[in-house]
């Protein structure tokens, strides 16, 4: 796992603040998606957005079976949130772009996502619990919103201080 982390874009790289715009699902996008899935597999990530590998494209990958021994990585092209639960819960979140930092973030308990598959066919999927959290986290990243922006300034500063200490020591 340590080797692949060096290939991820690290916070505060400007790529993490860039919004991907919808694009047709073509061979180029599929190739980036395959690289993204390979990176997620190698890092054992629950999810990644293309920005994590330096591509500002509308693609995320999610492990849709996080509680099983064998991950099931699915690609989502042009994903967008169409509905979320009114109920929320706090949960731990992290990013390959800021190794060693985990923070608690409040998110809806389910989310409905519209997206295109690798054939460009429009689909909608509803995710529950942890997979919903991952989907919302990665779609925000795809839209140029790093997960730390969900924290108060004080909590964000504490998380960044922790990251700086880890890098220094």
Which tens digit of pLDDT belongs to each residue from 116-137?
A: 999 999 999 999 999 999 999 9
For residues 7 and 128, which has the higher predicted lDDT (pLDDT)? 128
> pTM, whole model, 2 decimals?
0.94
Find the catalytic residue in 93, 116, 138, 140: 138
Q: Which CATH class is domain 2-168?
A: alpha beta
- Give residue limits of the domains in the chain: 2-168
Radius of gyration of the chain (CA): 15
Structure confidence by residue, pLDDT tens digits, 86-98: 999 999 999 999 9
Segment 17-50, tens digit of pLDDT: 999 999 999 999 999 999 999 999 999 999 999 9
Concerning whether 128 is annotated as a catalytic residue, the answer is no
Exposed/middle/buried for 125, CB within 10 Å: 0-12, 13-18, 19+? middle
Tokens of 77: 């092209």
Give the pLDDT confidence score for residue 3 in this predicted structure.
44
């Amino acid at each position: 796992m340590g080797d692949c982390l060096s290939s991820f874009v690290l916070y505060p790289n400007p790529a993490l603040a860039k919004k991907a715009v919808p694009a047709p699902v073509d061979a180029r996008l599929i190739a980036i998606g395959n690289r993204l899935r390979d990176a997620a597999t190698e890092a054992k990530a629950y999810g990644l957005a293309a920005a994590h590998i330096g591509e500002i494209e509308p693609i995320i990958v999610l492990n849709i079976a996080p509680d099983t021994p064998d991950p099931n990585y699915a690609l989502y092209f042009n994903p967008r949130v169409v509905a979320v639960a009114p109920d929320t819960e706090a949960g731990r979140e992290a990013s390959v772009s800021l190794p060693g930092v985990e923070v608690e973030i409040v998110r809806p308990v389910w989310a409905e996502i519209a997206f295109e598959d690798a054939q460009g066919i429009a689909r909608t999927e509803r995710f529950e619990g942890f997979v919903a959290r991952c989907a919302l986290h990665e779609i925000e990243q795809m839209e140029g919103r790093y997960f730390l922006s969900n924290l108060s300034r004080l909590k964000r500063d504490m998380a960044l201080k922790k990251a700086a200490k880890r890098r220094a020591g």
